[in-house]
Amino acid sequence: MTAAGPMPNARDRQEFTRMGQEKIGAATESAGAIAAHLAMMNLKFGVRAFRHMVTGTAALMSLATSRSVGQSFARQAKLAQTVSRSAITACQLSDSTARLARRGLKPIHARATANARRLGKR
């Protein structure tokens, strides 16, 4: 746009229009990819969070009702495994968030690199 100067010719105006349409298309595609991934994430991690809450509560209550030292140790180990699985899920949430960003940026990156290639040939 800078190279076109204050009085762009017809070819430049056509290119500006094309670039604007591509930006809108990329933003629309990006929003769709983000929405689809968020819907999947919400369902997947909502189910996991509920499952971890229930199993964690059950493991804690089981530990509280232990009748012997041996039973207490076994139930502590079970509680530790449950907490560990919750931590792993939290790490997976972070990974899924990175994938969300990557999916959202993919259409924008594709359009930008295509524009650069096309405009580089001019």
Domain boundaries, the chain: 11-116
Cα dist. 35→40, 57, 103, 118 in Å?
Answer: 9, 32, 10, 30
* pLDDT, one tens digit for every residue, the chain (122 residues): 777 788 889 988 998 899 899 999 999 999 999 999 999 999 999 999 999 999 999 999 999 999 999 999 999 999 999 999 999 988 888 889 999 999 999 999 999 898 888 888 76
Distance from C-alpha of 53 to C-alpha of 73, rounded to nearest angstrom = 21
What share of residues in the chain are helix, strand, coil (percent, to 5)?
Answer: 90, 0, 10
Full-prediction pTM beyond 0.75?
no
The predicted pLDDT at position 91 comes to 87
